[in-house]
Structure 1
Amino acid sequence: MVVAATPLWRMGVRNDISDLLGFIGREDVWRDRLQDVVAEHLMPALEEFDLDDDELSELLGEPWPGVLWGCGFEDFLGRRYGEENIVDLYLKRRGWKETALNREYFAALRDTPVSLYEVSNVKPGVSMVLQDLLGGAEPVSVLEQSATRSLKKWDRIAVRILAGRDLHVLSGALLAFSEDAVELLFDGLRGALKLKKRDAMRLTTDQLQGCTPVFTSAWLFTALPRAMFPPQPTFCNSDGDDIMFHDLRFPFAAGVTQKDVAACLDGVRNFLPEGPRFWTWLVPPRTRPRKKASGIMLDSQMADGTVLGSLELKGKSLLVTVNSVARAAKVEALMTKAAGERLKRPMTTIRTVEQMMAEEGPEQPREGDDEVPPQIARQITHDYLDKHYRETLDAPVPALGGKSPRQAVRSESGREEVLQWLKLLENRSAKHDDAAIGEYDFGWMWAELGLQDHRK
């Protein structure tokens, strides 16, 4: 996500830093100090990934080279070298040439540390509310034009909030932090400040000022791998197994009828008849995956349990569909025990998630089909999401340690995990390309879990 803060001190008034930059460039000692500070922000990642400045720019593209340089520049403006500070020196020598607004802006950059903020109450093109996650300050409403058009509720951003005479605005260097970048940032801050994991993350202005390069490094160490090696989504089932679809076709032995096989299937525990030729392989709900799970869970949930697969009689064969290697082996053993020699050994077709998606592809509208009105399509989508998330509240969620949201919310630590999970769901939905999904209201889930007071 590309996010650029409006470089304004008063809305509609652009800051001019050209004279300040010229002043820095004319004095070797200050020019070298600026270069050193920018290097502190960039070099750890450049060295780790064996990149130079040009390669970094090519990988990330616009506007990131300028934003990253701005992170170092804003840090440099707050640095003190003995009793000297570049802003103090510049305002003393050349401040008479600057407007009052520019003098205020430079002084605010000098005195304001970067911090990590959580976004809420976004009014695109106008303002948003930011909650300081490190400094402990009260939430503030910030006037902002460009960034509010791309930021969504519960996003996390690293930026400086500059307090003016009658309003708050953002500095020009803004980095949007992903979930893993936040985790890396916290680890980096604990290491730099020698904090223990159980220590509250409440930092002073001096601590934040001294750790500014850690913010840029945490962002780069997560952004660069994504740019160099774009991540592929991973999928698992409720057993924690990687998703691999298996279609097992069991041919009937000579003289065997569908009625014979149906009688065998009806005798298998957890095979739930759904009609004369169709069964669902269903097991009671699980409180957690059997092994550590990762990725997106694809299993279907029903009121009575988790769906492990489906079985259907077709002609002279039984077709069984499951979504993992382990389940394929288990269902083959079940069928061998239940049907014996009535069924021959299965012929198995294996497909990945990507192959399934490619086979299905987007459904093309047929000529003459009536187009579904947008309001009806939106209602259908929201009804589906309601059903899906109601099932999810009672289903094991990997991000909650395999507990369901209703189970996790009963403990204090679990409640915090559920809060972060809800924020992540809502944040991802808001960023979705499909407007109907992006507009979905998660408020009922917060209320259902008793967390509505935490939804600012």
Structure 2
Amino acid sequence: MDDAQGTVGLDPLDKDALLRASGPMFTNMWLLDCLGKAIPGSSPDMVNADGDDLVFHRIVFPLAKGVIGKSVVRRLNAAQWLEPASDTFWNWLAPVTKKRTPGTTKGGQAFVTTMEDGTPVFANVELAGRKLIVEVNSAARAEQAIAQMSEWLGDCVSTPMTEIRTLAQFMADDAARAPQEEPLDIPPNEMERIVHQMLTREYTKTLDEAVPALGHKTPRALARTKAGRPKVADWLKYIENGAAKSGPGDPMATYDFTWMWDQLGLIDLRR
């Protein structure tokens, strides 16, 4: 769920549509990444960067009577930690802390969303008509978001309503909704380039991160040992085979993992 920055050949007005339509694809990419870091055959517990269980909250603040959208936009643009992605969409950033270590907290696999510079994303904020929508991934974040929005916006918004979904419900809703979505008019080769670029960025970081399936060692470090080489090779095959099963027309199915085998010095074990 990163961003659509760096794309070429697209009308800038389509950026919001690209972000919305790419949601299920990026979610699937994240799940493949998490499962690839887990022990094959297992289903890791999912937590967010704070170590809280993943429970998706969609908080809807109706605009108060007489309040216009421009007033809300001005306040949000002035708010600390809100970074505009468009005229009506903001990434709510969070300061980097040493409170917990993503990926190992509570024995679960962490779902960590960051900007390109590594800054964690706390929530997404969108102004849709006369509703301000805040999306977070835990109950604790929902409480904090409601309190902070009340401070930033005061009487510009009314009492919020909250929709709560578990990870299983979130994935089921995405699967049910996907066929009804209008296809985005992006050339297949351009979408493939965007997805491959994101995968390369994420897997480059993964090579130097502790992986549960590898005894919480980094792939790069373990690949330097005689005993670790076959373990890392099996891990790479697991990820590669998972991507290959994405299905015809899915950009993930055409991603070339050769560079990872080369970087880890394991090309002789690829077969």
Secondary structure of the 1:321 match is strand
Cα distance between partner residues in 2 of 1:291 and 1:275: 34
Aligned-partner Cα distance in 1 for 2:106–2:196:
23
Kindly indicate whether residue 92 of structure 2 is the aligned counterpart of residue 281 of structure 1. Answer: yes
Compute the displacement of 1:323 (Å): 1.2
**Alpha-carbon distance in structure 2 between the residues aligned to 1:455 and 1:386:** 25
Distance of aligned partners of 1:232 and 1:394 in 2 relative to their CA distance in 1, 3 Å threshold: closer
| Aligned with 2:81 (options 270, 274, 280) | 270
- Runs of 5+ unmatched residues, structure 2: 1-37
Aligned to 1:249: 60
Of all paired residues, the percent bearing the same amino acid is 29
1:442 corresponds to: 257
How much does 1:454 deviate?
7.3
What's the C-alpha RMSD, in Å, of the aligned pairs? 4.2
2:151 corresponding residue in structure 1: 337
- The answer on whether the counterparts of 1:239 and 1:291 sit within 8 Å (CA) in structure 2 is no
Alignment partner of 1:361 out of 161, 164, 175: 175
Give the Cα separation in 2 of the matches to 1:318 and 1:294: 35
SS class of match (1:394): helix
Structure 1's consecutive aligned runs of 4 or more residues displaced over 6 angstroms after TM superposition are 413-419
Residue of structure 1 equivalent to 2:211: 399
- Taking the aligned partners of 1:244 and 1:252, their CA distance within structure 2 comes to 25
Cα–Cα, structure 1 residues 290 and 430, in superposed 2: closer, same or farther, change >3 Å?
A: closer
- Judge conservation of contact 1:271–1:280 (CA < 8 Å) in 2: yes
- What SS class does the counterpart of residue 205 from structure 2 fall into? coil
Aligned to 2:264: 451
Please say if 1:388 is aligned against 2:203.
no
Matched, 1:306 2:120: yes
What residue is the counterpart of 2:138 in the other structure?
Answer: 324
SS state at 1:434 partner: coil
Amino acid at match of 2:256: D
What SS does the aligned partner of 1:240 have?
coil
Unaligned runs of 5+ in 1: 1-177, 181-225
What TM-score do you get using the length of structure 2 for normalisation?
Answer: 0.61
CA deviation string 1:266-296 (max 9, x = no partner) = 2222210112211111236678329715445
- Kindly tell me: are residues 240 and 398 of structure 1, through their superposed partners in 2, closer, same or farther at Cα, counting changes over 3 Å? farther
Instruction: Provide the C-alpha distance between the structure 1 equivalents of 2:64 and 2:110, rounded to a whole number of angstroms.
Output: 37
Question: Per-residue deviation at 1:326?
Answer: 1.8
- Whichever residue aligns with residue 48 of structure 2, its letter is N
Query: 1:65-144 residue pairs with structure 2 within 5 A?
Result: none
Find the aligned partners of 1:389 and 1:286 in 2 and give their Cα distance: 26
* Structure label with greater radius of gyration: 1
Q: CA 1:430–1:352 in structure 2 vs 1: closer, same or farther (change >3 Å)?
A: same
Q: How many residues align?
A: 216
TM-score if structure 1 supplies the norm length?
0.39
